[in-house]
Structures are given as structure tokens and as C-alpha cells.
Structure 1
Amino acid sequence: MIRLIAFFLFLTCTFSYAQKEKITQLENFDNKPLRYGYYLGLHYKGYAIKASNASITPGVGFQLGVLADLHLNNYISVIAEPGVLSSTNKLTLANETIQMPTTHFHLPISFKFTTQRINNVSAYFSTGISYNYNFTAEKNIGDGGAKPNDFVLTKHNFMGEIALGTHFYFPYFKFSPSIRGIYGFNNEYKGLGTTAKNSLNSLKSRAILLTLTFQ
């Protein structure tokens, strides 16, 4: 993943220098008070785990959604990005491997800080919090605790987010690739069966997202 981030930064620098000889596009785009768009991408998601006899394997998933970007001044905006985030992890409880798919309604709200634009490129940094509603929280509830490995995940979850990205301005749209880290605040796990209770105490989301945004 460190190599992916380094490669992303290398591309950003390369494109930035390449843009210096080009005519500026969408000169007044960022002056609009409210801008809309959509995004899609892939992510690598796992969990910080506290366990005595359990382990979890991170999984690759996807995200897609829409966004609203509220312009505060030339360098700061507030952005809301409701969407869907879906992935699958493998949870091992006492030597039994369980598929753990999750699909979330994902709502990040962030402050975005943008550098001064150089022709057709600007860089940005954003930080904020997100609310996640887990549609599949009871996927592994089984018999409500009658089986040793029965468990549930919490439906309502809160996370911190931080992102680094670049805006590229084209004649008809603005394209913004970014890398984002997600850090879950609350424990999302509740054991119901005897093995599930005794083997695993806590799961907190961790993820790295590669996102492509179009406005």
C-alpha cells in the first residue's frame, strides 16, 4: 500500500509539471458557490482486532456515490459525499472461517483545503468524520446465539477520515483522483454464541480508499 501511495504522488507531480504549457480550462469553475459530482473507486478494508482466539483477513471492495461541494472561499470548502461502500472480510473464530460481507451507507462530511491552482492542476487535503449504516449487520446472526459462532455487527458506526488528492481541469469537467484513509472509532462487534463471545472482543474499521471523482 505504501508503494501505491508513492506511485500516486509520483503521478500527481508528473501531471502537474506537464500542465504548465497548457491553456487553462474551466477558469471559473471553482467560483460557483455549490458544485456537484459523483465518485467511484476501490478500497482495501480490514479491522483493528482485539481477540484471544480469532483473526480477520482484509478484503478488497468498491465504493460509489455522489457529492456536494460548498465553496467557502478560494481555498476552503465543505464537502458531503453520500454513497455505498461494500466489501467482504474473512473472520476466523476458533479455527472456523466465516465470510463476513458488509455493505454500508457511507456519509463523510469533510473540510477540504485546496492549494492555489497552477493552470489546470491544484492539490488538496481533506479531513472530517463519517457516519456508516451497516445494511448487513445481522448477516452472521445465525440462530441468535444458539450456535457457538453466532455474532452481529453494529448498524451505526462513526469514523474519522483523511484524504490527499489532485484536481485536474479539463474542458468539460474536473477530475480528482485521491487516496483516503478511514479510522473507525467504535467497536462494531458483538458476540452472541459462546465461542464468539470468548474468542473476539473488538473490531474497529480500517480502510484505504482509491477514489476517482468527476465534477
Structure 2
Amino acid sequence: MKQLVVFLFFCLSSIIYGQSEKISQLQSFDNKPIRYGFYLGLHTKGYALEATDAVLSNGAGFHLGVLADLKVSDFLSFLTEPGIISSSNSLTFDGEKTEVPATYFHFPLNIKLSTRRLNNVRGFIIGGASYNYNFTANKNNNDNGANPRDFELKQHTLMGELGIGASFYFPYFKFSPSIRGVYGFQNEFIGLGSTAKNSLSELRTRGIFLTLTFQ
């Protein structure tokens, strides 16, 4: 909810800024065939679960990385944003809480559709898929199944994302906030211990990401 309020504030600001600003900034910036930058942001991330005796609490986290934006036309580009996603969730089963940290190397390939530029503001829609490597997949595997609560998460997963945003052109850089929904295509849960297997069968990533991009 907080991320949505912040993004709506950015949308309102873009309308006001776009109508009032008359001096066009970075006029030739979008003409470059490849544009580079970096991003950072906050997110709330959890899992869609199928369970007989388990409860999940969504956690907050951060993400950051670099980007390359390949121009195809005035309104279409291909975007890759390799980076790190880190967050933690609490999973309760068998009456006991377990922390489920997740730190991913995130490698997305996205399509970006942009609107026509109005003064120094330009809206866009972004969507695509990503490969993700989980560095903490074995965090809760202590005894390779000998402990009834042992489980793992898959190391290699695919996720999809879809979002909207706006670009603001300033004298020396372009600032692009966006909000995105992220969802995992695969079940990431691997039950090893008897209690873990009986309590939970599926975990699929779900998240809302607020991303601030600088180019």
C-alpha cells in the first residue's frame, strides 16, 4: 500500500511537472541506440502457498542493479536490468516460526513501450521475464532431511514482471520511477524433512516492487 501511495504521488507530480515545464531537457537523450544507468528500490515480497498447516508473513526488502536500454524505435526498446534482490519472510508450520531469507541474482529481459514525450515527462509500460539464482536456497536445510523441519528453495527460477512508470527529464539525467508486479512461474519449495513435507507443498514468488531508475 505504501508503494502504491508513493507511485500515485509520482504520477500526480508528473502531470503537474509536464504541464508547467516549458524548457525541454535532454532533447537528444532518447536518440542514443543504447542507454545505460542504474536502479535501486524497495519491495514487499512473499509467496503464494499451498499448505495444510503453514502460514506465511510477507517481508520487505531492497533491490539494486544496473541497466542497458536498447532502442528499437521511438516508442519501443528492449531493457535488461541485472541486479540483486534481497528480502526475508517468516514461515510458521508445526507451531514454530522459521525465517526464510532470499537473496537472488536477478537477470530480466523486458520490453518497454513508451508514450509520446510531453515537455519533460514520458510514461511507459514495461513487462518481461527473468532468470533468478537464489544464493540462500539451502539456508533451512540443516541435516539434509534428518531434521523434520528441513527444506530448501530451488536455486534456479523464472519470474515474470509487469509494471507502469514515468520518466522525468532533468538537465543532467533522466529519472524513471516505476511500480511493478513480480510473480514466480515455478514452485520453489523442496520439502526434505517429514514435517516440512506434510505442512507445505508449494511456494511461488509474488511481490510488488517500487523501482527508481537513473540514466
TM-score class normalised by the smaller sequence: over 0.9
**Aligned-partner SS, 2:196:** helix
1:142 alignment counterpart? 142
Match of 2:203? 203
**When the two structures are superposed, what TM-score results if normalisation uses the length of structure 2?**
0.96
> CA RMSD for the aligned pairs?
1.1
TM-score by length of 1: 0.96
**Structure 1 unaligned runs (5+)?**
none
Structure 2: which 5+ runs fail to align?
Answer: none
Range with greater deviation from structure 2 (65-74 or 5-14): 5-14
**Number of aligned pairs?**
214
Structure 1 Cα separation of the partners of residues 80 and 64 of structure 2? 13
Partner of residue 154, structure 1: 154
Distance in 1, Cα, partners of 2:168 & 2:13: 12
Query: Which runs of at least 4 in structure 1 moved beyond 4 Å after TM superposition?
Result: none
Q: Secondary structure at the match of 1:142?
A: coil
TM-fit CA distance, 1:8: 1.8
TM-superposed CA distance for 1:113, in Å, is 0.3
Alignment of 1:59-138 (within 5 A): 59-138=59-138
Residues of 2 paired with 1:14 and 1:40: CA distance?
Answer: 20
Secondary structure of the equivalent of 1:204? strand
Once the two structures are TM-superposed, the CA of residue 7 in structure 1 deviates from its matched residue by 4.8
Q: Distance in 1 between matches of 2:134 and 2:54?
A: 22
Structure 1 equivalent of residue 178 of structure 2: 178
CA shift at 1:72, angstroms? 0.3
Q: Which residue of 2 aligns with 1:27?
A: 27
Q: C-alpha distance in 2, partners of 1:124/1:73?
A: 14
**Pair 1:5-2:16 in alignment:** no
CA distance in 1, matches of 2:10, 2:79: 24
Aligned counterpart, 2:36: 36
Q: Deviations over 1:152-171 (max 9, x none)?
A: 10000001100110000000
Same amino acid, percent of matched pairs: 55
Could you report, residue by residue, the CA deviation over 1:5-29 in whole angstroms, capped at 9, with x for unpaired residues?
2552343133323333321100000
* CA apart distance, 1:93: 1.6
What is the alpha-carbon distance in structure 1 between the residues aligned to residue 17 and residue 46 of structure 2? 37
**Cα distance, 1:108 vs. partner?**
1.2
